[in-house]
Amino acid sequence: MPRAKAWKYKPTRFMAPDSHYDQARADRAVYFISNLKHGDGEFAGEPFGLLPWQEQIIRDVFGVIGVDGYRQFRTAYIEIPKKNGKSELAAAVALYMLVADREQSAEVYSCAGDIKQAKIVFDVAKAMAEQSPALMKRLKILDATNRIVYPAQRSKYVVLSADATTKYGFKVSCCVFDELCNQPNRRLYDVMTKGAGFSRRQPLNFVITTAGPDRESIAFEVHKKALDIIDGSRADTSFYPVIFAAPDDADWTKPGVWKAANPSMGITSRLEDYKREFEDGKHSLAAEIYFRTFYLNQWVEASENSWIPMDKWDKCAFPVSPKKLEGRVCYGGLDLSSTGDLSSFVLVFSPLEGEVKYQVLPFFWIAKDRLKERIARDHVPYDIWEREEILFTTTGDVIHYAHIEQFIKAQGERYKIKEIAFDRWGADYIAQNLNEAGFTVVRFGQGYGSMSPACSDFERLMRAQEIAHGGNKALRWMAKNVIVKIDAAGNIKPDKGKSPEKIDGIVAMLMALSRAVIGGAVDRKESVYNRRGMFMIGG
């Protein structure tokens, strides 16, 4: 990978007063990394030409020496958007710490939210090592156990398994922590960075990450620490912070903002790539959040943006007539929640030949004795909705699922319900009963694998005004509440935990709509649906 330009080292402003810059040590690390070669991709076989921002980090981390003669920085926190070469830099650091740091019995670890993510940096390092005859003479690559060993110094580079937090005895010389934003909790980070390197004179935690959506996470905690050190409101001379990001108030639509946040643009990525992603972001809030989070490195908190633009939702308030739909083929979505909460059943009718709109018919239930309590708590007019027959109540202080079961069976007499998709949480019993009654029931996973395609179908149809929801007030309230989770691949799913109020009706609608989109096309051709039964849609 070619360097962008030659440059002269400028000492970091985070150097402690009693530290100094040792050019020989910095040169040693730069020389080692510069003699590595890229193992795959566009630059496969080419020397690792450190870009200016990368060389600054390497010289700071390895060249700034404390009064005790050891490296000043014990944690390097590198927060930068995707596609800037942070995995390659981390892999090069891991190899240096394994073979060139003069540490006997070095222990280098790749950590991440899951084993697949942790292997990304490891695999890059392995590919680099395989390009170097000098390294391959010294190293043994053990693919079966995801490790590289350096027998001469009894050193090892290991990918940690997902249950690493149950293990002890780490003597960490280097921990490469990839995508801290994806950590489900703080346990692994604490195990690897707090005390595991006490037996080493100069351990290094090399943390690389993009921004994320969760401001209650360990990633945001470390991000905030980095910001505080950068602005001078906090002191920690062992912590080295680097953040490339667009300011929160920047105009995210401007290419100049994209360039400022992405120091490798033009080398590891092209402006055209960002323009393509941006075009998606203009037409979808979820895509906008993805673009701003992963390409501009902004911490776009989910609660700042509901997923469904209400102006576009309201444009789909076309009338829906239950009477005119009688006898029509439809698909159901069932979200029972808890017995003390709101339960939802939604029917979605695929368009007939010559039609374009999917028609939505929702039903909701709440326990009668909880009505006043829920009105006071949620500030929602459940009592008015009950009188308007927008929702139903069941006697007592819990919802009786048997009542919902009988209601669904009655709808089966009125409409041709081809399938009922359900969230298996708490619904297995009623699903079994419906199956025995002759309905085809489908376990519908709530993960990205199932929900992201359903969300995409909904967005597409809503923007084309090819959904008719009749302006149902309860469903509109839920639509306004929906916050989505987004993963690093751009997949999305509703986040009940982050959504400010109930969204069960939308979840039920998404499940039904997903099956209607798939089944509607088949129905018009006829017909694998002459059988009944129960089956599962994963993830």
Rounded mean pLDDT for each run of 10 residues along the chain, 539 residues in total: 63 95 96 92 87 96 97 97 95 97 94 90 96 96 94 95 65 94 85 79 96 84 96 95 94 94 93 88 76 91 68 92 96 81 92 92 91 79 90 85 92 96 77 91 90 94 95 92 84 82 91 91 49 54
Q: Is the separation of the CB atoms in 98 and 106 below 8 Å?
A: yes
Strand partners of residue 204: 174
Cβ atoms of residues 433 and 405 within 8 Å: yes
What is the predicted pLDDT for the residue at 301? 62
The whole-angstrom separation of Cα 151 and Cα 429 is: 58
CATH class of 310-537: alpha beta
Distant-in-sequence, close-in-space partners of 68: CB < 8 Å, separation ≥ 6: none
Angstrom distance (rounded) from CA 51 to CA 268: 10
Helical spans, DSSP H, in 298-447: 310-314, 371-378, 382-387, 401-414, 428-436
* pLDDT of amino acid 530: 44
E-state strands within 55-188: 64-65, 75-79, 107-111, 140-142, 147-150, 155-159, 174-178
Instruction: Answer yes or no: are the C-beta atoms of 381 and 375 closer than 8 Å.
Output: yes
Residues 208, 179 contacting (CB under 8 angstroms): yes
* CA 4, chain centre distance (Å): 32
Strands 147-150, 155-159: pairing kind: antiparallel
Q: Are 240 and 212 in contact (CB under 8 A)?
A: no
The burial of 207, by beta-carbon neighbours within 10 Å (0-12 exposed, 13-18 middle, 19 or more buried), is given as buried
Quick one: pLDDT at residue 531? 42
**pLDDT in the model for residue 526:** 46
- Strand pairing partners for 269? 265
pLDDT score recorded for residue 19:
97
DSSP three-state, residue 420:
strand
pLDDT per position as a tens digit, 73-130: 999 999 999 999 999 999 999 999 999 999 999 999 999 988 888 999 999 999 999 9
pTM for the structure as a whole:
0.69
Give the tokens for residue 361: 């018919």
- Within 13 Å of residue 109, how many CA atoms lie on the same side as its CB? 25
Q: Can you give the three-state secondary structure of 109-135, one letter per residue?
A: EEECCCHHHHHHHHHHHHHHHHCCHHH
The answer to whether residues 63 and 12 touch, using CB atoms and an 8 Å cutoff, is no
Task: For residues 311 and 16, give the distance between their C-alpha atoms in angstroms, rounded to a whole number.
Answer: 54
Give φ, ψ of 244 to 5 degrees. Answer: -105, 115
pLDDT at position 486 is: 84
The two tokens of residue 160 are 């940690």
Query: Which DSSP category does 351 fall into?
Result: P
pLDDT of the residue at 303: 46
How far, in Å, are 87, 420, 440, 480, 498 from residue 333 at the CA level? 42, 6, 12, 19, 22
Cβ partners under 8 Å of residue 256, min gap 6: none
Residue 527: CB atoms within 10 Å: 11
**Beta strand pairing status for 484-486 and 492-494?**
antiparallel
Query: What single DSSP character describes residue 527?
Result: -
**Residue boundaries of the structural domains of the chain:** 20-244, 310-537
**CA nearest neighbour of 318 among 362, 361, 355, 359:** 359
3-state secondary structure of 79: strand
* Burial group, residue 166, by CB count within 10 angstroms (0-12, 13-18, 19+): exposed
Tokens matching residue 454: 């359903």
> Which neighbouring-strand residues pair with 108?
157, 174
**Per-residue pLDDT tens over the stretch 137-150:** 999 999 999 999 99
Other residues' Cβ atoms within 10 Å of the Cβ of residue 103 = 20
Count Cβ atoms below 10 Å from residue 161 Cβ, excluding itself.
12
User: For residues 19, 22, 26 and 28, what is the CA-based torsion angle, rounded to 10 degrees?
Assistant: -140
Give the number of other CB atoms < 10 A from CB of residue 354: 5
CATH topology of domain 20-244: Rossmann fold (3.40.50)
